[in-house]
Amino acid sequence: MKNIIITILVIFAFAGASFGVYKLFIENKGGEEVVKKDELYICPMHPQIRSDHPGVCPICHMDLVLKEEVDAEAEFDSLKEHENEIGDVVISSSQQVLANVQTEKVSIREFKSSLDFNGFIKISESNMRHIATPISGKLVRMYVNYEGQIVSKGEKVLDIYSPEIYSTQKEYLLALRNLANAKSSGNELVIAQAESLISSTKNRLRLWEMTSEQIDDLENTKEVQDYIPVFSKYSGVITKKLVHEGHWAMAGEDIYDIVDMSTLWVIASIPESDISSIKMGQSAKITSIAYPGEVFNAKVNFISPVLDPDSRTLEVRFDVSNRNYRLKPDMYVKAEVGSANYQWNIVVPRNAVLRTGKMDMVYIKKGSNVFSPKMVTVGGEKDGYYLITSGLAEGDEIVTSAGFLLDSESQIRTGTSTHNMEGMEMEIKGDPIFNKENDVMKDMKK
């Protein structure tokens, strides 16, 4: 009987010990395995590498790290609320704060597009003039003594002595006396000859640029001048002084070069892609770093018919009003050419658009944590804003700060460049599913 009782006690003790071992090791281990199944391990450098167990990234060979459960759940919940698209980025609220992600709702605004071109100031060839001697003679005195001197129309610029003018003045006075004598004789033929001589002599003095006032003085005073003054026919700036006092000049010889600088030329090089935006007579605004905030009005007066084959640019010329002679030849300026009319359309901040050369893109906020790339068409730029002609609708919420960070994250997660999204099918139906068969780490499971 004792043996039976002992045997029963041994059986119960063994059963209790087995149950304890099971509870301590087997069940706990199974529970740990269940927890691990809900965990998500990713590569810090390549977040698209994911696994439900620890391991090594096959790309950079870094150890996979445990992604926070809260972030993982938030990511999956956000994706379930929207249709998935290639390039979608899911980041938590805390990550948005750290990355300084800022958004703004798209609105329709008044926009006037404009183009800016670099150019330089050049003297207008149509305003170039010469001050020359009307007759051969000696330059007795010159009143304009240096280049850059401003001269007004009608201003005396030099005195010239000419034997021809001297003798013609005497001839004119003699013709006047002959006319007076002929009138006293009463002979009509003699009177007509005297009047003809006066007319021809007076015309010669006028051709030699003696003014009517000078001829009247000669008639009144009956005194022949040794030299006569020469007056400028133009207003402007003396750009060249070619001779000096005492010079014996030939008839018609240039003494000064003078330019009217109230109007100058702006020469700008227009890229081939912008040629269609330039029209004859189009208004423009000229600005210079020499006068910040000051604007000079201009108009297109010439479009070159020949394209520069080296720079692929077209020369365009503007007439610019040179207020108070502030603009100087060879000064670098910027020409702003505006569009003909104002437009009402989608306008977004410049920082919101990612321009790659092949395409333009913005990021739209689809949910509290989901951001999606969207291709857009830029129609112009003005004062830090882009005109968007397609791709966005009024009310869309776009990212205006940290767009490049989102774009980098999108490329990392998808393993492809969002710059190549053009023409790709964006929709993927269904909820995100973690498929163990696609687990790149399944063969490295420890």
- Is pLDDT of 48 > 50? yes
Q: Is residue 334 within 8 Å of residue 286, measured between CB atoms?
A: yes
Window from 148-162, 165-179, 358-372, 399-413 with minimum mean pLDDT? 399-413
Please check whether residues 224 and 185 belong to one and the same domain: yes
Residue 40 lies in a domain: no
**Residue 445 maps to a domain:** no
- The two beta strands, 343-349 and 385-390, are antiparallel
CATH code for position 405: 2.40.420.20
Model pTM score = 0.53
Domain end: 338, 370, 398, which one?
338
Sort 394 into a burial class: Cβ within 10 Å, 0-12 / 13-18 / 19+. Answer: exposed
Alpha-carbon span 321 to 344, nearest angstrom: 31
| 162 and 222 fall within a common domain | yes
- Shared domain check, 91 and 177: no
Residue 400 domain flag: yes
Within this chain, do residues 189 and 255 fall inside the same structural domain, yes or no?
Answer: yes
In a domain, 64, yes or no: no
Q: Is residue 441 part of a domain?
A: no
Last residue of a domain, one of 293, 318, 338: 338
**Residue 49 within a domain:** no
What is the per-residue pLDDT for 33?
A: 40
Q: How high is the pLDDT of residue 3?
A: 61
Least confident of 87-91, 177-181, 285-289, 303-307: 87-91
Residues 265 and 119 in one domain: yes
Is there a domain that residue 376 lies in? yes
Domain co-membership, 197 together with 94: no
Percentage, residues of the chain above pLDDT 70: 72
Whether 411 and 355 map to the same domain: the answer is yes
Residue 51 falls inside a structural domain: no
Q: Are residues 119 and 265 in the same domain?
A: yes
Same domain, 215 and 307: no
User: Is residue 363 within 8 Å of 398, Cβ to Cβ?
Assistant: yes
Contact call for residues 81 and 367 (beta carbons, < 8 A): yes
Least confident of 104-113, 232-241, 307-316: 104-113
Q: Is residue 200 located within the same domain as residue 272?
A: no
Q: Number of folded domains in the chain?
A: 4
The CATH number that applies at residue 172 is 2.40.50.100
The whole-number pLDDT of residue 1 equals 55
CB distance 51 to 438 below 8 Å: no
Asked if residues 348 and 310 have their Cβ atoms less than 8 Å apart, the reply is no
Same domain (yes/no): 375, 322: no
139 and 187 inside one domain: yes
Is the per-residue pLDDT at 320 higher than 90? yes
Query: For residue 81, is pLDDT > 60?
Result: no
- Which residue segment(s) compose the domain that 86 sits in? 82-110+343-436
Question: The domain spanning residue 309 has which CATH number?
Answer: 2.40.30.170
